[in-house]
Copies of this chain bind each other. A is one copy, B any other.
């Protein structure tokens, strides 16, 4: 396919980018998987017609999902679980932390992993061959339900939007299991949609998370591909503070980071007044 890819978010607004060719297109058991070549974003992963990530802007998203939680854990993470994230970008960032001894990636759709390894190799990069990676193709909802209590330092949800195969990943039971399998000082972080274009999902997710976790703090940053000016992630834990930055750990990560630094970390947790006011209600 050559022409324009268009994503219409809500019958009111859409973004579009020119597509030079389709590098991969397949129908898995779960969804339509496509990788498109574009002049604006380089190679782009699209699942069921929804933009997931691109070569050009993926670092905004993946650095912000991983590093704020990693860098503020009271003890450096050794054992990390990633749910979703079949493109490999999240495990790549996790494995930059030298403290990590094991990262388990649970992706439901093997076709996403295979397509990204072949057509988006920069995303996972050397992480795919890292001996610390435990790669599991399977259902993340079932995985966390069966996982041992207090087992992980960090659980990351790198999910699609809460429709289709991603739907169970935004539910009360899933979040409760994520909390159950965290060590006492552990943390959970997830992408939590746009507070502007998808404000209903954003605020509902904050509300559900607040019923489960003692501490819930959304944080914001740009993901240019998503066309809404601002994206959100949410940090959750039983205790602790996402702004308790461990400088030594942050300095090591900043060196190789393209977006993340300590100023960005602190700034991301400064929520605009109009969002903060709604969160207080």
Contacts and interface: CB of A to CB of B under 8 A. Distances in A.
Among A38, A222, A271, max chain B CB count under 10 A is at: A222
Interface residues of A, number: 48
A269 interface: yes
Contacts of A15: 13-16, 227
Contacts of A264: 267, 270, 272
A270 B273 contact: no
A102 interface: no
Contacts of A266: 263, 266-267, 270
A263 B258 contact: no
A17 interface: yes
Contacts of A59: 274
Contacts of A271: 263
A228 interface: yes
Nearest to A13: B40
Nearest to A16: B14
A67 B141 CA distance: 46
Interface in A234-281: 254, 257-264, 266-274, 276
Interface of A: 4, 10-18, 38-41, 57, 59-60, 196-197, 222-231, 254, 257-264, 266-274, 276
Given A14-B15, A227-B227, 17 more contacts: A12-B18, A13-B16, A14-B16, A14-B17, A16-B16, A59-B274, A60-B272, A222-B222, A229-B231, A254-B273, A258-B272, A260-B272, A263-B267, A263-B270, A266-B266, A266-B270, A267-B267
